[in-house]
A and B are shown apart, each in its own frame.
Chain A
Amino acid sequence: MWYKKDLLGIKELSQKEILTILDVAKNFKEVAARPIKKVPTLRGKTVINLFFEPSTRTRISFEIAAKRLSADSLNFSSSSSSLVKGETIIDTALTLEAMAPDIVIVRHSKVGIPHKLASILKSSVVNAGDGAHEHPTQALLDAFTILEHKGKIEGLSVAIIGDISHSRVVRSNIHLLTKLGAKVRVAGPLTLIPPGFEKLGVKICKSIQSAVEGCDVIMALRIQKERQGRVFIPSLEEYYEMFALTPQTLKYAKEDAIVMHPGPINRGVEISSEIADSPRSVILDQVSAGVAVRMAILYLLANVKEKQDG
């Protein structure tokens, strides 16, 4: 049974809720293999993609998910800067509410916006990424992909490499993986690992070698090129030398370790082409899993049941 009105973060989910989403996603993976990839489940439901930050991949993934469930899916894009002056988030939320959508998918460059909208809107809210805070559907699709390849999550060692400070993917993944019993290590330039990060229950490694050693899963994060030359990373070349996933660095991982990346990848920055194109790379499986996981979430939220007392 599913009782949560919104999906705001992995932090708020129980282990059981995570497993429910992943189970339901399996069925939707099967739907994607049918001759007609569309089921009438959410006919008549309206899903609004409210994206305050440009994102093609995540938005399209949600859009396909909604369409395959026969929901009506609409896009509302706006740059967050236009909201700094003039219309506030609350105005936008109330405008949307007046159109009575069933589910609102929110992406915003600032932390906490989906949470704020969820507290105002009657509709269900799905966090499609808020600042560097959470990106729950990404973590769920990552877990789905790991399960497909490894059959379990408990007991696995997962290394996450890259710009930890600015990544919402890493935070959601840490919550999810540790809730399901994996051991998580992170590595990246120490200027990009915020103080206090070890309190999230992860091991911080100073080198990529120590991070990937004996690992089952290695996730590279996207390096934002604009961080180069500021205080964080002296140069991208140096980053590549120290932290990129290459055949050399992967030697330290388990032989059957899989390589993941939330996309879009920067070849020659955080990952070498040899690795990105190797059979170890499950990056495209992650993309397919994304649709199934998002269908599962829309399905569960659209049919949310008020929790009965007692």
Chain B
Amino acid sequence: MILVKGKKEVEERIESLASELLEKVKSEKSVAIIGIHTRGIPLASRIIEYIKPYIAVEKGQLDITFYRDDLSKIAPNPVVKATKLPPIDDKVVVLIDDVLYTGRTVRAALDELIDFGRPKKVYLVVLVDREERELPICADFIGFKIKVKKGEKIDVKFPETDGSETSIYIRR
């Protein structure tokens, strides 16, 4: 495992991401900020902390397992986490995930979201964009662009989910 971004750098970047997002949505009455399981959730809570003094925020979380398109290929983790969404009809919704790669997770998240209602607009925030998309999906706010070789993985860590300090690693 190679450390590519340390705690300070990641935390600063999350703050600036939050401020970019705030700039974009500050004219709204409220936004729904929805983290995608697993590490979209700690990322979302940091962004919420930053912007909630300025704008009304409703929290949500999404587990996309039931909407995956690759269940027959992978062994699903049988323990699916809870999906809890605020009302999203005619709302501005911000989807938050740690890494954007093939785009399939975001596709599933959008499908699931739409089964719950009809948002006015959906933004996508990711901490890392590792490119190599398989679907025509792009993020509105990107923390870092990190290119890795095939077979390598990007691991984002948060204290809440991983018990180690906020950081980004490349793993073979």
A–B direct touch, CB within 8 Å, in complex? yes
A residues with a Cβ closer than 8 A to B are 1-2, 20, 23-24, 27, 30-31, 34-36, 38-41, 69, 299-300, 302-303, 305
A23, A41, A302: residue with the most chain B Cβ atoms closer than 10 Å: A41
Complex CA gap A2/B71 in Å reads 13
A119 to B117 CA separation, bound complex (whole angstroms): 45
CB contacts under 8 Å to A, within B84-143, are 111-112, 115-117
Interface residue stretch chosen among B26-34, B48-56, B74-82 = B74-82
Chain B: which residue is nearest A17 at the CB level?
Answer: B78
21 CB contacts below 8 A, A to B, read A1-B77, A1-B78, A2-B78, A20-B78, A23-B78, A24-B80, A27-B80, A27-B82, A31-B66, A35-B117, A39-B66, A39-B67, A40-B67, A41-B65, A41-B66, A41-B71, A299-B76, A303-B71, A303-B72, A303-B75, A305-B75
Residues on A with C-beta less than 8 A from B65 are 41
Interface majority SS (helix, strand, loop, mixed), chain A: loop
Chain A residue with the shortest CB-CB distance to B77: A1
8 further contact pairs, Cβ within 8 A, besides A2-B75, A23-B78, A39-B112: A2-B78, A30-B82, A34-B116, A36-B115, A39-B67, A39-B115, A41-B66, A41-B68
The count of chain B contact residues (Cβ–Cβ below 8 Å) is 21
Q: How far is the CB of B72 from chain A (nearest CB, A)?
A: 7
A36 near B78 with CB under 8 A, answer: no
Contacts of A24 in B (CB 8 A): 78-80
Closest 6 CB pairs of A and B: A39-B66, A305-B75, A36-B115, A27-B80, A41-B66, A303-B76
Report the nearest B residue to A27, measured CB to CB: B80
B75 touches A40 (CB 8 A): no
* Cross-chain contact B116 with A40 (CB below 8 angstroms): no
- B76 surroundings in chain A (CB, below 8 A): 299, 303
| Interface residue? B83 (CB, 8 A) | yes
Q: Is the CB of B72 within 8 A of A34?
A: no
Which residues of chain A have C-beta atoms less than 8 A from B72's C-beta? 303
Q: Which residues of B contact A23 (CB under 8 A)?
A: 78-79
B68: A residues at CB distance < 8 A:
41
Select B116's contact among A20, A35, A300, beta carbons within 8 Å: A35
Which residue of chain A lies nearest to B111 when distances are taken between CB atoms in the complex? Answer: A40
Docked pose: A299 CA to B77 CA in angstroms: 11
Shortest Cβ distance from A305 into B: residue = B75
A172, B85: Cα distance in complex, Å: 37
**In the complex, A2→B75 CA distance in Å?**
8
In the assembly, what is the distance between CA of A38 and CA of B67, in Å? 10
| B63 nearest CB across to chain A (Å) | 7
Instruction: List, in ascending order, chain B residues with CB within 8 A of A302's CB.
Output: 71
Residues in chain A near residue B83, CB distance under 8 A: 27, 30
Contact of B75 among A1, A27, A69 (CB under 8 A): A1
Q: How far is the CB of A67 from chain B (nearest CB, A)?
A: 14
Q: Which residues of A contact B66 (CB under 8 A)?
A: 27, 31, 39-41, 69, 299
In this complex, what residue of A is CB-closest to B84?
A30
Q: Which residues of A contact B81 (CB under 8 A)?
A: 27
A20 partner residues in chain B, CB cutoff 8 A: 78-79
Nearest neighbor of A41 in chain B, beta-carbon distance: B66
Assembly CA distance A41 to B66 (angstroms): 5
Residue with the highest number of chain B CB atoms closer than 10 Å, among A38, A39, A302 = A39
Give A2 to B74 CA distance when docked, in angstroms.
12
